[in-house]
Structure 1
Amino acid sequence: MTDHDISHRSDNGQSETISAAAAHLPILELRGLEKQYLGTHALKPADLAFKAGEIHAIVGENGAGKSTLIKLLTGVIPRTAGEILLRGEPVALTTPLEAIQHGINAVHQEVVLCPHLTVAANIFLGEEHRRFGLLQHRHMVREAQKILDDLGFVLPAHVLLSDLTIGQQQLIATARAATRGARFLIFDEPTAYLTREEAAQLFALIRRLQKSGVTIVYISHRMEEVFELADRVSILRDGRLVGTRNIDDTNENELISLMINRSIEQIYHKVPFTFGKTILETQALSGSGFENISISVREGEIVGLYGLIGAGRSEFVTTIFGRHPKSSGKIFWDGKEVNIERERDAIKLGIALAPESRRDQGLCLSLPVSLNLNLPIYKQLSRNLLISHREESRHADSQISDLRIKTASRSASAASLSGGNQQKIVIGKWLNHGAKLFIFDEPTVGVDVGTKAEIYRLFSTLLQNGAGIILISSYLPEVYELADTLHVFRRGQMVASHPHKTVTHEDILTQALGSASADTDTHN
C-alpha cells in the first residue's frame, strides 16, 4: 500500500485498499431525491454527491429537511422521487436492514439502544456470540471491552447501559456503528450531551474512521465543530438544498446567512434594560455538588453560570428549585428569607426551571402539546374538578402562536416535534404560569441558530416584563454575549464573577479549567 492509498473494510469484513483518486469519486450520490407528505414538501428535489473518505457536514434549521434526509438514506422512509446511487449503482434503500447491508449506518442524537442490557450486549445486539446455542456473555464482554479500549473510549463493557450518562450511551452507539463495517456513517448532533472529554474522544474516532476510508456525514448546529471537522458543508433551508461549500472557502457568517437569511449579528439578540429590585439572592448556599455560592438576580437581568460539565451549576439551580435539599446557607425571595423544600414551594413563589434534558425532565413526550403547555396551570383551568377545555385550548393556542411552535395541531404528541420546538414547549408552559424567575439550563442544546435567535428574543420579552433569568450554558459565546453578570464555576465553587463583556473568552476558560494562573482568581 502506498502513502496515497486508503484502507477500509469491504462487505465481507476484509481489509481492502482504494486509491487516492478513487477517494475523490462519489461513494454515494443523490439525484433529484425528494420526499413529500400530505401537504408537506419535506425535501425538495436535491442533487448531492458525497466523496469517499470525506467528512461532509449538513447544516440547517430545525425543519430544514436534515432529519428527512437521514431517514431516506437509512431506509426508514421511502422516497417520493429521485434516485440514490452507491458507487454509481442505483440502490433502493427501502429498509434500515438494506441500508446497513450496504454499509450505511447512523448514530442518532437520541440513543436508540436497549438500556436494560449491558454495554457489551448492546454492541453485539443482533450479532450475539453463541456456542452450542448458549449465549457467550463473558466472551462478549471481553471482546466489547477490547473494542472500546481500541476506540479510545474509557467505558466499562460489563455494566448496564442505563448506568451510563446520556453522553456515554451516545459513545456506545457510536462504537456499535463503527464496528459494523459501516463505510457511510451519519452522525446526527452527536455532541449534544457529551462532555468536552467525550467530544474529544468522538472527534478522534471520526478522524480515524475518515483515514480508513469511511465517509462521514456530520450534522450539527455547532458551527465550531463543523469548521473543526468537515471538508465540505451543505446547507438546507425549508427543505431545499441551497448550496455546498468547501470548508476553506466559507465562513460562519455565510453559512448562517444561507441557513436563515440573516446575519450572525442578529442571532444574539440583547436589549439593555434598567435593572429593578432583587428577585432572588443566595448567601453561602451549599448542597450536594456545590458549596458557598452567593449570587443575586434582579428584575431585567440575565445572570449567566459558566463552567465545565460537573462544575456544580445544575446542582446549584436544582437546589434553588427545591429538587434537592440545601446543606447550609440562605435563600431570599423579594428580600425575605424562604425555605424551599420542594419543587412546589419554588413554583408557588414564581420560580420556573427549564431543565437540561427536556425529553427526560421537561416534557411528557407521549402526551399532546396542549397538555404539556398547560401542565403548571391546570388548577387555574379547572372548576369543580372539571377542566375547561375552552380555556385549555385558548392558553395552548396562545403559546403556540406567540412562540411560533411548529406543530400539526395542539393535539399532536410532544414527541412528534423537533428538538427546538420541544424546547419552546418547555418554555411556554412556564409563560402560562406567569413565573418571575426563569432558570434555563442549557436551553439551546440541539436547536438550530434560527430557533436560538427566537429563544434569545423570548429572553428579552421576559426581562421587559420584569422577570429575571439564570442562564446555564456550556457554550461560552452564548453566556458571554447574553449575561449581564457572568459567574464562573469550577469543582462545585464559584471562582470568578464578571460584568457583561469585561473579560475575554480566554480569561473565562482559564478560570473554568483551573490552570495555574486561575488559582489566583479574583471576583471583579
Structure 2
Amino acid sequence: MTGLNDVSHRHDAEVEALSGGPVAKGAPILELRGLHKRYGTVEALRPASITFLSGEIHAIVGENGAGKSTLIKLLTGVIRRTSGEIVWCGQSVPLSDPNEAISRGINAVHQEVVLCPHLTVAANMFLGDEMNRRGLMRKRAMTDAAQAVLNDLGFNLPASALLSDLTIGQQQLVATARAAMRGTQFLIFDEPTAYLTRQESAQLFRLIRRLQGQGVTIVYISHRMEEVFELADRVSVLRDGTHVGTRLIGETNDAELISMMINRSIEQVYHKETLPIGKPIVETRGLSGPGFQDISLTVRAGEIVGLYGLIGAGRSEFALGLYGREKVTAGEILFEGKTVDIRNERVAMDLGIALAPESRRDQGLCLNLPIGLNINLPVFDRLSNGLTINRKREIANADRQISDLKIKTPTRRVLASAMSGGNQQKIVIGKWLSHGAKLFIFDEPTVGVDVGTKAEIYRLFSKLLEEGAGIILISSYLPEVYELADTLHVFRQGRLVASHAYRTASHEDVLTQAIGV
C-alpha cells in the first residue's frame, strides 16, 4: 500500500527543478536579508535578517504584532515585500505568489485551518493535485492513497469523512498531512497545537521529527515555550516587527527568551497579588451532568480556583453545567449562600456569572460585528433610554474597555474577525467587565496568545479579584493554573480526584493525578 513517501515522490521532480540544487544538511537553505514590509505608514516587518539551515527545526517566538504572521505571508508568497532579499538554495527569488512558494517546496500549516469543510478528508489532501484518468476524477484511488498516508503518519482519521465532521484539532492534522505529502523542503507550522489534544500533539511531534530526519527544514512558531525547548534546534525572537536575536536551544532558557520578547522578566508574567479571601460566592454539592459527576467545590471572593485535567476530563463540561448551558442532572448549587436553579444562561447572567468559553471564535464572539458592539452586547439594556440606545454611553463604554484592556485597534468599528487571537480574547473579557459579574469562568483563556498578552490577562485577573469577584480558571497548561490558582482541583474522567492549596503539590504530583498512573 502507498504511504507518505510514495505520494510525496510525485512532487519531487518539480520541486527539485526550482530549488537550485540540493543543499547539504546544516547549510543555509533560506536567507532573509533586510526583509521589510510596510502598509502605508505602518511597518509590519522592519528590516529583518534571519538564516534558516537545511534540516533544522527553527522556532520563532514573539508577541502578537511582533511580525510573525507577516513573515509567514512573505515566505509563502501571500504578500510581496516592500524591500529586502530572499535567498532560496543560494539563489535570490521573488516569491511573488503562493504557487511559486509551493513549487519551490515551501509550505505552511496555519493555526486557522484553510481547507474546504464541505469536501472529504481525501479531497482536501489532494486539492489542486487530483488524480485523473481520461478526464475523470479517481475518487476511490485518492481515498485509498489518502488513507494510506494518514495511517503511515499515525493519524487515526478516516479519509472518506467530511472535513466538517472532524474536530478542529483533527482538521489541523489533515492540513499537516496535506503539506507533508506535497514534496515539501521547508515547512512552516503556525501555532499547530493550539487545538490539539495531548495525544494529537504527540502524533504531530513524531511527524515533525520524521520530516526532519528526511531533510525537511521546519519553522515552528509557538507561544508555548515547553514545545520550543522540546523540538527546536535554534530559536529566533521577533519584537516590534524586527529580529532581535537567534539562540541555540541548548544555550538559552525561558527567562532569556521572554526578556527578549517583551522586555519583562518571567516573574512579571505570572503576576499574582496576595489578596484576602472573602465569603463564598458559589458552592456546588455533588453536582452531576453530561460529562461530570459528583463535583463539590467552593469559589470565594478574591480567589482563583483552578481546574486542571487532560482534554475530556470534565472540567469544561462542569463549567457549562454551572453556567446553565448544559442541564444538571443531580446535586445543588448555592450562590452567595442561597440555593439556586441555574436552568439556562440568562439565569446565570442575572445572578452575576460570566463565561469566557474555550472557543472564543465560535462561542465567545460575533465575528461579523465590530469590536464595540461585541463589548456592549451584555449591557445594551443599561445603555438605553427606554426603547433607544444612548449613543454617547455606548461609545464611552466601548472605548473605555478598549483602552483599559489595551486592545490594539485603530477604532471600535473594526470587525472582531480582523483581530488577532490575543485581542479577540481581550474583547471577550471586556464585554463581561462591562457586565460587572461576581463570578468569572475563564476556559483556556490564553490559548493562542503571546506571553505579553498573557501577562496583561493575568493582571486583569488581579483587578477582578481586588473588586471582590471570584474566578474559575480552566487550563490544560499546568504552569498557568499552578502559578495562579489559590486552590487547584484535578479532574480525571469526569470526576474531581484531588485538591491542593497554592503550591502545596509538585507539578509531577498534579500530572500523575490527572493521568491516573
In which range does the TM-score fall when normalised by the shorter chain? Answer: over 0.9
Q: Which residue of the partner structure matches residue 102 of structure 1?
A: 104
Assess, with a 3 A threshold, how the Cα gap between structure 1 residues 280 and 50 changes in structure 2: closer, same or farther. Answer: same
Q: Which residue of the partner structure matches residue 460 of structure 2?
A: 458
Q: Which residue of the partner structure matches residue 3 of structure 2?
A: none
- 2:20 is the counterpart of 1:12: no
- Tell me if the contact between 2:464 and 2:470 (Cα under 8 Å) persists in the aligned partners: yes
Structure 1: stretches of 5+ with no match in the other structure: 1-6, 516-524
SS in 1 for 2:80: coil
Cα deviation digits, residues 340-371 of structure 1 (max 9, x gap) = 11111111111000011111111111211101
Shift, 1:335, TM fit: 0.8
- 2:152 is the counterpart of 1:150: yes
- Tell me if the contact between 2:20 and 2:89 (Cα under 8 Å) persists in the aligned partners: no
Residue identity in the other structure for 2:111 = Q
Find the aligned partners of 2:291 and 2:381 in 1 and give their Cα distance.
Answer: 34
- Tell me if the contact between 1:118 and 1:159 (Cα under 8 Å) persists in the aligned partners: yes
Q: Which residue of the partner structure matches residue 136 of structure 1?
A: 138
Find the aligned partners of 2:156 and 2:497 in 1 and give their Cα distance.
Answer: 29
Question: Where does 1:121-270 land on structure 2 (aligned, <5 Å)?
Answer: 121-270=123-272
Shift, 1:136, TM fit: 2.3
Shift, 1:39, TM fit: 2.5
Find the aligned partners of 2:393 and 2:128 in 1 and give their Cα distance.
Answer: 50
Q: Which residue of the partner structure matches residue 439 of structure 2?
A: 437
Find the aligned partners of 1:335 and 1:125 in 2 and give their Cα distance.
Answer: 58
- 2:373 is the counterpart of 1:371: yes
Q: Which residue of the partner structure matches residue 37 of structure 1?
A: 39
| More deviation, 368-377/121-130 | 121-130
SS in 1 for 2:24: helix
Q: Which residue of the partner structure matches residue 63 of structure 2?
A: 61
- Tell me if the contact between 2:16 and 2:104 (Cα under 8 Å) persists in the aligned partners: no
Residue identity in the other structure for 1:35 = K
Find the aligned partners of 1:141 and 1:304 in 2 and give their Cα distance.
Answer: 44
Find the aligned partners of 1:140 and 1:384 in 2 and give their Cα distance.
Answer: 61
- 2:397 is the counterpart of 1:417: no
Find the aligned partners of 2:133 and 2:346 in 1 and give their Cα distance.
Answer: 55
Assess, with a 3 A threshold, how the Cα gap between structure 1 residues 216 and 319 changes in structure 2: closer, same or farther. Answer: same
Calculate the aligned-residue CA RMSD, in Å: 1.8
Shift, 1:510, TM fit: 0.5
Q: Which residue of the partner structure matches residue 23 of structure 1?
A: 25
Find the aligned partners of 1:197 and 1:153 in 2 and give their Cα distance.
Answer: 10
- Tell me if the contact between 1:32 and 1:46 (Cα under 8 Å) persists in the aligned partners: yes
Q: Which residue of the partner structure matches residue 290 of structure 1?
A: 292
Given the alignment, which residue of 325, 329, 345 partners 2:331?
329
Residue identity in the other structure for 2:151 = D
Question: Where does 1:279-358 land on structure 2 (aligned, <5 Å)?
Answer: 279-358=281-360
Residue identity in the other structure for 1:369 = I
Find the aligned partners of 1:393 and 1:14 in 2 and give their Cα distance.
Answer: 57
Q: Which residue of the partner structure matches residue 54 of structure 2?
A: 52
Assess, with a 3 A threshold, how the Cα gap between structure 1 residues 30 and 159 changes in structure 2: closer, same or farther. Answer: same
- Tell me if the contact between 2:23 and 2:54 (Cα under 8 Å) persists in the aligned partners: no
- Tell me if the contact between 1:11 and 1:103 (Cα under 8 Å) persists in the aligned partners: no
Identity over aligned pairs, percent:
69
Find the aligned partners of 2:80 and 2:22 in 1 and give their Cα distance.
Answer: 33
- 2:397 is the counterpart of 1:395: yes
Find the aligned partners of 2:366 and 2:453 in 1 and give their Cα distance.
Answer: 21
Shift, 1:101, TM fit: 1.1
Residue identity in the other structure for 2:138 = Q
Cα deviation digits, residues 144-175 of structure 1 (max 9, x gap) = 11010011111111111111111111000000
Q: Which residue of the partner structure matches residue 518 of structure 1?
A: none
- Tell me if the contact between 1:55 and 1:216 (Cα under 8 Å) persists in the aligned partners: yes
Residue identity in the other structure for 2:370 = P
Shift, 1:382, TM fit: 2.0
Shift, 1:409, TM fit: 1.0
SS in 1 for 2:146: helix
Q: Which residue of the partner structure matches residue 362 of structure 1?
A: 364
Residue identity in the other structure for 1:144 = A
Shift, 1:386, TM fit: 2.0
Residue identity in the other structure for 1:66 = K
- 2:394 is the counterpart of 1:386: no
- Tell me if the contact between 2:287 and 2:331 (Cα under 8 Å) persists in the aligned partners: yes
- Tell me if the contact between 2:20 and 2:91 (Cα under 8 Å) persists in the aligned partners: no
Structure 2: stretches of 5+ with no match in the other structure: 1-7
Assess, with a 3 A threshold, how the Cα gap between structure 1 residues 399 and 248 changes in structure 2: closer, same or farther. Answer: same
SS in 2 for 1:235: strand
- Tell me if the contact between 2:23 and 2:29 (Cα under 8 Å) persists in the aligned partners: no
Residue identity in the other structure for 2:300 = R
- Tell me if the contact between 2:121 and 2:161 (Cα under 8 Å) persists in the aligned partners: yes
Residue identity in the other structure for 1:465 = E
Aligned length: 508
TM-score by length of 1: 0.95
Find the aligned partners of 1:295 and 1:265 in 2 and give their Cα distance.
Answer: 29
SS in 1 for 2:117: coil
SS in 1 for 2:329: strand
- Tell me if the contact between 2:150 and 2:156 (Cα under 8 Å) persists in the aligned partners: yes
Residue identity in the other structure for 1:282 = T
Find the aligned partners of 2:343 and 2:123 in 1 and give their Cα distance.
Answer: 41
Find the aligned partners of 2:23 and 2:387 in 1 and give their Cα distance.
Answer: 72
Assess, with a 3 A threshold, how the Cα gap between structure 1 residues 106 and 298 changes in structure 2: closer, same or farther. Answer: same
Shift, 1:13, TM fit: 6.8
- Tell me if the contact between 1:284 and 1:328 (Cα under 8 Å) persists in the aligned partners: yes
SS in 1 for 2:284: strand
| More deviation, 132-141/69-78 | 132-141
Residue identity in the other structure for 2:324 = G
Cα deviation digits, residues 178-237 of structure 1 (max 9, x gap) = 111111110000000111100000000000111111110000000010011011100000
Find the aligned partners of 1:500 and 1:280 in 2 and give their Cα distance.
Answer: 19
SS in 2 for 1:303: strand
Find the aligned partners of 2:15 and 2:122 in 1 and give their Cα distance.
Answer: 20
TM-score by length of 2: 0.96
Find the aligned partners of 1:225 and 1:61 in 2 and give their Cα distance.
Answer: 16
Find the aligned partners of 2:387 and 2:100 in 1 and give their Cα distance.
Answer: 53
SS in 2 for 1:326: coil
Q: Which residue of the partner structure matches residue 4 of structure 1?
A: none
Shift, 1:46, TM fit: 0.8
Cα deviation digits, residues 42-76 of structure 1 (max 9, x gap) = 11101111111110000000100101100111111
| More deviation, 383-392/297-306 | 383-392
- Tell me if the contact between 2:121 and 2:174 (Cα under 8 Å) persists in the aligned partners: yes
| More deviation, 108-117/472-481 | 108-117
Find the aligned partners of 1:178 and 1:218 in 2 and give their Cα distance.
Answer: 14
Q: Which residue of the partner structure matches residue 4 of structure 2?
A: none
SS in 2 for 1:255: helix
Assess, with a 3 A threshold, how the Cα gap between structure 1 residues 424 and 221 changes in structure 2: closer, same or farther. Answer: same
Residue identity in the other structure for 1:339 = D
Residue identity in the other structure for 1:211 = G
